[in-house]
């Protein structure tokens, strides 16, 4: 994994996409996954990170990727 604490971002609306941009510049956090409930976004790459699954799959992904931190945003879709 990269440097910083691993984090998963939930929801890829406007706020979530803005957070992904901020995390890319952070040395404190390392983005490891994106989750979103919009079927059109599943499997898509957003700003260099793939939407791996549904928000309901969060327990699976946190265990599999060994992530303890989650950021959740709901907002307008920018894609």
Q: Label residue 43 left, alpha or beta by phi (over 0 means left) and psi (-120 to 50 means alpha).
A: left
Residue 79 lies in a domain: no
- Percent of the chain's residues with pLDDT above 90: 58
Residue 65 lies in a domain: yes
Cβ pair 8, 34 in contact under 8 A: yes
Average pLDDT value for residue range 28-43 = 93
Q: Per the structure, how many domains does the chain have?
A: 1
Q: What is the pTM of this model?
A: 0.82
CATH number at residue 64: 3.40.50.720
Q: What's the domain range around 12?
A: 5-72
The per-residue pLDDT for range 50-78, each reduced to its tens digit, is 999 999 999 999 999 999 888 876 555 44
Q: Is the pLDDT of residue 47 over 50?
A: yes
């Amino acid at each position: 994994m990269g440097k910083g604490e691993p984090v998963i971002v939930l929801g890829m609306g406007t706020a979530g996409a803005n957070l992904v941009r901020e995390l890319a510049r952070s040395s404190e956090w390392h983005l490891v996954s994106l989750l979103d409930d919009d079927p059109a976004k599943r499997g898509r790459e957003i700003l260099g990170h793939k939407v791996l699954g549904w928000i309901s799959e969060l327990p699976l992904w946190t265990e599999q990727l060994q992530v303890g931190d989650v950021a959740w945003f709901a907002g307008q879709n920018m894609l």
